[in-house]
Structure 1
Amino acid sequence: MKKVLLYLISILVLNACSDEIPEYHESARAKRVVLAYMAANSPFDNIDACIMKNLQWMYESLSTAKDTCTLMVYYKPSNKNQYIKTAEILEFQTDGYGKINGQEILQGSSLTIENVIAQAKHHQAQLGIATNSDIMKENLRIMQDIAPAESYGLILGSHATGWLPSTNAQYSRSFGIDGDTSNAINIPELATTLEQSFPSGNLEFTLFDACMMGTAEVFYELRNATHYCVASVMETPIAGFPYDRFFINLYEDVIDYAKICSETAQFNKENNWWGTYAAVDCTAMGEVAQAIQAELLSHQSELQTLDYTQVQQYGYGEYRYFSFDVVDFISQLNGGVVSANVQSSINKAVIAKDCLDGEEYPLGTLKIAPERFCGMGMYFPGRNISYTWDRYCQSSIAWYNAAGWDKIQP
């Protein structure tokens, strides 16, 4: 009897140690989790409906996963949202075998925003202004506690106006909007918030689904907060990024950033919109700053007479001249020549880019020349473009000193 019992135990132990894949596999700590922080509470337009659609696209792409993948979404809705009435954290986890949150994936006519929200696991979010630094940090902490990972990707979706201060004018809002334009977060504060939220430095990328974030001022500010950053230097179409075309690729060990840029540009082209997109290695921005500083210091006299209206710029309407193409600026400053140091530093920092030809796809009167698009813009302080912008850039934006603007004699 004892021999029979030992034999049975041996069989059970061998089966338990077999290489068969279980029906559901999940590790305590994922390799990467994607977080989305969506501040959709705008009283001015229908961005909430558009961000809801973005969430559906994320789900659609996530449903193709062949392994366990987790998406955590902080969502702050407007009062017009039919499906979410207050700020919540939504969790979506694939099992790699056709289920999300233990349910069959939604597809066909069942793939609706209503059903996507219903299938989510709902968690209590920290209530308060979505763009308040303490509120952001607490909600990012909650999401990381629910879904621990070796690395994270972060999508920030809302309105934005790049590095410009949220209080400089009625419609300037830096990143985010929650109820009115004063409820925003300036870029230096956002950088500190992200550094404190990911103290181990494991924020692999930040994707700005928001306007005008693709500037040297933003990338440099985030150099200690995130490795890569995906953004547009222009105002962006309100529909946002076409996540259904690339979202699942954000879980790969090596992300194809060129695909993100090209797919988004193609999506805009199909809808007869405009667009510039780039992915930047923020950790390389120190070298960019050094190269720019050397050029500025060696061309101080030319700076005073440079006709900046002839440089490729990316602002439209009231934001005209908020940002100039970095390489085109240096080229025109240097008589049509770009120094090897500047070009080399840009080549290292801008790892992918794509844009639509402004002659065919303009934003109003703003036309982008693809051959003059290097992937990022920068402001030209000290030329009276805007006294408020000059003062804020000088007092608050780290790029100002890093790029040598503080050393330029008036």
Structure 2
Amino acid sequence: MPAVLITGAQWGDEGKGRATDLLGSRVDYVVKFNGGNNAGHTVVIGDEKYALHLLPSGILTPGVTPIIANGVVVDLAVLKQELDALNERGVDTSKLKVSANAHVITAYHRTLDKVTERFLGKRQIGTTGRGIGPAYADKINRVGIRIQDIFDESILRQKVEAALEFKNQVLVKIYNRRAIGVDEVVEELLSFRELLEPMVCDTGLMLHEAIRDDKTVLFEAGQATMLDIDHGTYPFVTSSNATAGGASTGSGLPPHRIDRVIAVIKAYTTRVGAGPFPTELFDEMGEQLARVGHEYGTTTGRLRRCGWYDAPMARYAARINGVTDFVLTKLDVLSGIETIPVCVAYDVNGVRHDEMPVNQTDFHHAKPIYQEFPGWTEDISGARRFEDLPKNAQDYILALEKMSGSRMSAIGVGPEREQVVVRHDLLD
């Protein structure tokens, strides 16, 4: 049975939770391998809407074992809040497993994230302020706190003391903030020991045994390709690897075990926060896409920047991730638009670029070169087969498929679970 990865092909918010949910009943494990509670997923099941920030969206599917793997940074208060909220709504969360090697977001990480971003002023990156970046920085600097440390109070205290010895100097002397006490951090972390005890295990071993036993494993990336720390629009990126390669380091499952890579991509483009965005719209059409598409961040509530579909970006995502299938979402948002432009290349200082420029400065100054496609006026929310779609919508999808580097295997035509057109089996 396969191991399948789902990631975003743009700057996030493409609807990865929806794609995960689409496969949920056919998989045995759903694994979150990167990021923290900065990446939100919205899943609609019937009349119920679930907004998840830290938990894998597979937790909503009965029978699935959801895993928070070692590559994730975990805010334990958020973990408890999300579990409590789901339990109150009757969702069974008892199968959740958390890696002992996952790193913990502490109070000082959140504080440093917020004050540092404010200190940057006009150079702000657009962080969510939830402590994700500082937690990853501590991980790389080898001064981080891991889930397993919570079960050894002596080790935990030593690590917090070592971290705060330097960080309090920064908070007090540079940012004019109060020092954070060791006791308050230790006590807060220890308060989650009882919650964590039944969940914590060697998740890498669990996944290895799952593949050995012919179980199907689904990897669910937080964030997306263009926010990847190595392959995204640096420095306006997240602090982890959201691309296919991150699934191996973030989970402990070797690369050759991943059989399929599904990239979720909107029928237009959005991004949250600062950074270059060649196809961004600053007119009424941009406002229309945001309004009709309900383009507000699941985690932050921030209005998303909106623009047209970017084919060179899609090809880049296909290449970086080894995409086998695209899932195209929010096609219904384009209904009623007379002419739909698609970016097919960039103009950088008079030079045409058919692929994404390797130089960040060039990408920042890139102007989109558009090809226009006729739109459609029909309501497509009831379409379940490709043939049910208007001819112009079919032509639009086929054109994107040809430009984007892989097949468009599923198309979202509305926000609800069943509002999808499936052209190819995502597990075949």
TM-score, length of structure 1 as denominator length: 0.30
Higher relative contact order (CA 8 A, sep 6+): 2
Which of the two has greater strand per residue?
Answer: 2
TM-score, length of structure 2 as denominator length: 0.29
